[in-house]
A = this chain, B = another copy of it.
Amino acid sequence: MDAIKKTFGEVIRQHREQQNLPLRKVAAQLDIDTSTLAKFEKNLRHPNREHITKLAEMFALDEQDLLVLYLSDRVAYDLVGETNSEQVLRVAEEKIKYIRSKNTVQGVLGF
């Protein structure tokens, strides 16, 4: 009920500190600069899928949960400045369902 309110970066940092790992070590595993990881933790740079996967592994987190955390950050950030954000989310949900119901088959979508 509170975890939901943490950002991707906050969660990553929390876990890293819990294990007393310096940026250096985690960054090494991700094959990135410590600076880049520091920015992930401050949400100043965006990790890619591979980064997310590796971070989930390292901290024994459910990858899907971590992905949801990350994606919801982005959506929230995009919409927090919009007055109608709730409506946007509701309409978006309907649209996603609708699009999926049409493209029952593969992944590529005309949209």
Which residues on A are within 8 Å of B, measured CB to CB? Answer: 4-5, 7, 43, 64, 67-69, 71-89, 91-96, 98-100, 107, 109, 111
Contacts and interface: CB of A to CB of B under 8 A. Distances in A.
B86 A64 contact: no
Task: Label chain A's interface by main secondary structure.
Answer: helix
A40 to B, nearest CB: 13
Copies in the complex: 2
Contacts of A98: 4-5
Nearest to A101: B5
Nearest to A3: B91
Contacts of A81: 107, 109
A92 B72 contact: yes
A88 B109 contact: no
Nearest to A71: B88
A72 B43 contact: no
5 contacts: A5-B98, A73-B111, A80-B100, A81-B107, A85-B93
